[in-house]
Amino acid sequence: MIAATQMRVGNIILHNGKPHRVTAVVHRTPGNLRGFVQATLVNIENGSKNEHRFSSEDKVERATLEEHKLQFSYRAADEFHFMNTETYEMISLDKEILGDAVGYLLEGMVITALYFEGRVVGIEVPMFVEMVVKETTPNIKGAAVQNTSKPAILETGLEIKVPPYIEEGNVVKVDTRTGEFVERV
């Protein structure tokens, strides 16, 4: 247990019996009233976001999450199959648990799975991934250079914006936190 005033962004706490990631914390002491902590919490299991006000005397329980490395093997419809790199056990996860990470999963990629009470509640993919551009509009030779972008579909089906000089077959580096183009590889 920690005091609500000790909560920091990134902490994982138990709120109403469910694990939540703290994404924002604001300490307030309005006038001569008692101080409180306004926190934005994201439910790790389903991704829902809510605001909660804790009094400065409240205690919150830190959630204990286990982390295991999983290697992505293959996809079958909406099921994604992974191998635990420590136990070699095969695990299948559905799209809901994986969330936006689905667009970044490449065969053989090692991810970190977050376990709460023996089941996967979320995953963390590497910060940057390199993927092949499968489809994009052709570059127009001699066009004026401007700060523009065009859509491109990557090998996983993920669509991102890329600069005009990117062509089909190029390998691009993508930031998984923002889903933005970083550079051509």
Q: Which has the higher per-residue pLDDT, 10 or 49? A: 49
Residue with tokens 């005091």: 3
* Domains 2-62 and 128-184 agree in fold: no
Q: How far apart are CA 42 and CA 173, in angstroms?
A: 28
Q: Which has the higher per-residue pLDDT, 100 or 159? A: 159
pLDDT for position 173? 93
Query: Is domain 66-124 annotated with CATH 2.40.50.140?
Result: yes
Q: Is the pTM of this model over 0.75?
A: no
- For the ranges 22-26, 85-89, 133-137, 139-143, the lowest mean pLDDT is seen at 139-143
Q: How far apart are CA 19 and CA 14, in angstroms?
A: 5
The ranges assigned to domains in the chain are 2-62, 66-124, 128-184
Query: Is domain 128-184 annotated with CATH 2.40.50.140?
Result: yes
Q: How far apart are CA 12 and CA 54, in angstroms?
A: 15
pLDDT for position 142? 57
> Taking Cα atoms as reference points, which of 107, 171, 164, 108 lies closest to residue 139?
164
pLDDT for position 146? 63
Residue 145 scores a pLDDT above 80: no
The domain 2-62 is placed in CATH, from the list 3.60.150.10, 3.90.950.20, 3.10.450.50, 2.30.30.30, at 2.30.30.30
pLDDT band at 116 (very low <50, low <70, confident <90, very high): confident
Q: Using a CB cutoff of 8 Å and minimum separation of 24, what contacts does 73-77 make?
A: 73/107, 74/107, 75/105
For 49-96, the pLDDT digits (tens) are 899 999 888 899 888 888 899 999 998 888 899 999 999 999 998 887
Q: State CA 110 to chain mean position distance.
A: 14
Residue 6 in 3-state DSSP? Answer: helix
pLDDT for position 144? 54
